Chain A
């Protein structure tokens, strides 16, 4: 019951200094809101990156032309032009467990239809590509293995490209001029939205890689080869076989570096996750600093308040307050400020994270765990930064305190 009245006393004291209480809590509000928003945004970005890497497809091995140095720093994937069509065919033929392969060439160029122009990315792929990426068509039909063999002038296009050129008209069956070569559109892809890097994934034309190499990009080498393996357990073996096969085909002597790079989807995901983790950590740390600053604000105000309220403390002691009562009162004042600030900060932080997430098309990921932690941290900030001033107040001598001017 003594504790109950100490709460009563502390709340009365806070009420007496409304403006100051609000301003003190503001430091914590901003700190907690920043932490919640930053971590939420970071987690959202991470989830986005992970979703995108998952959308590469299941059990994917990517083979890029160009090497990594022995220290692991890449010199540019797809740069050196070392992968041949025959390499892809060899993988298809010889590596066990492989269920699908797509040869990939990429270029950016102007496409046109009627009087509409649009600058877009052209992906040359095999007929398996859309299956590998698990990227269904919204409308129409995909190009066929026959189209790939014959290097037919057919393509499927992304939603953005479709709207930019055809507006509301149905693009299927229409002719799209790519570098002045007329291609017939057979299908429109389902929209995928922005990538984590902010690239519009629906701004794309996908055609047989044979057509792309012969009629659009020129050149005889592939940027990369997408390999799909039937079973996750076969991934490591397949990866090793691919490396051995390509080293042999490229006549690379033992001890020399590969002139290609093999990465499993998992490795890419891990690297990306590590990057976003660092980013989330950094954002959180910066926000955490502001939380500490908020805590110091509480300590500052509580210290000023102890000095300013010395006479009050003396009076309380004169009418029977124990040192412990004074200690608890000041602690409760500090914790109330910090935890009320914490709750408001959580609400504002969630709102901020959601707002930013919506404008950047990210999911805002606010886990219940981070809310609980934010609340506990803000209460702990109150205890930590409130304790010293509270102890100072409790140690005052009643007579000295009463005499204090």
Chain B
């Protein structure tokens, strides 16, 4: 583990070509993120946030520019190499959870381990998955299928899945987009706890309220970074939840 820069983007471009049309989704982004940061990526719809996240998550390759993740250049890797990076170094949390249906929480969390090269036994898989599930507050829910879990619980399963391989960085594209405000704060609470433990988190959000749980906010517009600043009045999820509980008791 190094303590320096986890993510370094230098003049990254992404151009989509659909027939005659060219869409310049990302037009020269340079960005450095240090280990242990908690970054919220913001901006209007269509400003290129998801495109940038996909590149950060090694789901996609930049059309131009360099991406160095954990001191190795990943901008020119092939499909399989990118898959291995995703497996080892990245945990992805999606807006719509993307859990396997009709599959227990435990088996969903085990999934990245199955594609890892560690050759764990079923008992070892289970032990690891249960431990991570417990760490996101889902003890006793290991055997539940996604359809038996609330949205917030499903997102916790997804977070557990992102954490199981001990990633360098957790990426979340609108992780609270499908959740109500209370559950959103709970998820932010989990992110803050993880971040306290030193895990680097980059998340996309539309909501100022949610971005305020991060330490640093990056604003995008038209495929470029508009501004980049640290959060001055940071929200603490535990405190916010308490406030919320009190206000519901009063009314």
Contact = CB atoms under 8 A, between A and B. Distances in A.
Interface of A: 1-2, 4-5, 8-9, 12, 16-17, 311-312, 314-325, 398-399, 402
A9 B98 contact: no
A320 B80 CA distance: 8
- Majority SS at the chain A contact face: helix
Given A5-B114, A320-B84, A325-B115, 7 more contacts: A5-B119, A17-B102, A315-B100, A318-B57, A319-B87, A323-B80, A324-B80
A156 B92 CA distance: 92
Nearest to A17: B102
A319 B100 CA distance: 12
B121 to A, nearest CB: 10
Contacts of A398: 59
Nearest to B112: A319
24 contacts: A1-B117, A1-B119, A5-B114, A8-B122, A12-B103, A16-B103, A312-B101, A315-B99, A316-B111, A317-B83, A318-B57, A319-B86, A319-B92, A319-B112, A319-B115, A320-B83, A320-B84, A322-B83, A322-B115, A399-B54, A399-B60, A402-B59, A402-B94, A402-B98
Interface string B18-31: 00000000000000
B98 A311 contact: yes
Contacts of A321: 83, 115
Interface in B177-227: none
B176 interface: no
Given A1-B117, A323-B79, A399 B59 contact: yes
A12 B107 contact: yes
Contacts of B94: 402
B123 to A, nearest CB: 13
B161 interface: yes
A17 B102 CA distance: 9
Interface string B73-109: 0000001100110111000101000111111000100
Nearest to B89: A320
A315 B94 CA distance: 10
Given A314-B98, A319-B87, A4 B119 contact: yes
A123 B100 CA distance: 78
Contact of B111 (A319, A324, A402): A319
B116 interface: yes
Contacts, number: 70
B59 A318 contact: yes
Nearest to A2: B117
A8 B80 contact: no
B80 A322 contact: yes
B117 A318 contact: no
Contacts of A16: 100-103
Contacts of B114: 5, 8-9
Nearest to B114: A5
Given A12-B107, A398-B59, A322 B79 contact: yes
A8 B88 CA distance: 20
A320 B100 contact: no
A18 to B, nearest CB: 10
A319 B161 contact: yes
A320 B115 contact: yes
Nearest to A5: B114
A320 B102 contact: no
Contacts of B88: 320
Contacts of B57: 318
B188 to A, nearest CB: 22
Contacts of B112: 319-320
A304 B60 CA distance: 27
Contacts of A320: 83-84, 86-88, 112, 115-116, 165
A8 B119 CA distance: 12
A323 to B, nearest CB: 6
Contacts of B99: 315
A207 B107 CA distance: 82
Contacts of B117: 1-2
Which A-B residue pairs are the 5 nearest by beta carbons? A320-B87, A1-B119, A320-B115, A319-B112, A5-B114
Contacts of A322: 79-80, 83-84, 115
B8 to A, nearest CB: 22
A16 B101 CA distance: 9
A142 B112 CA distance: 86
B98 A315 contact: yes
A311 B116 CA distance: 20
A151 B102 CA distance: 88
A316 B103 CA distance: 13
Nearest to A315: B98
Contacts of B119: 1-2, 4-5
Contacts of A323: 79-80
Nearest to B173: A402
A314 B86 CA distance: 12
A2 to B, nearest CB: 7
A314 B99 CA distance: 11
Contacts of A324: 80
A326 to B, nearest CB: 10
Contacts of B86: 317-320
A317 B100 CA distance: 12
A177 to B, nearest CB: 80
A82 B112 CA distance: 89
Contacts of A399: 54, 59-60
Nearest to A4: B119
A73 to B, nearest CB: 66
B203 to A, nearest CB: 16
Contacts of A17: 102
Nearest to B94: A402
A22 to B, nearest CB: 16
A168 to B, nearest CB: 68
A16 B147 CA distance: 13
Contacts of B107: 12
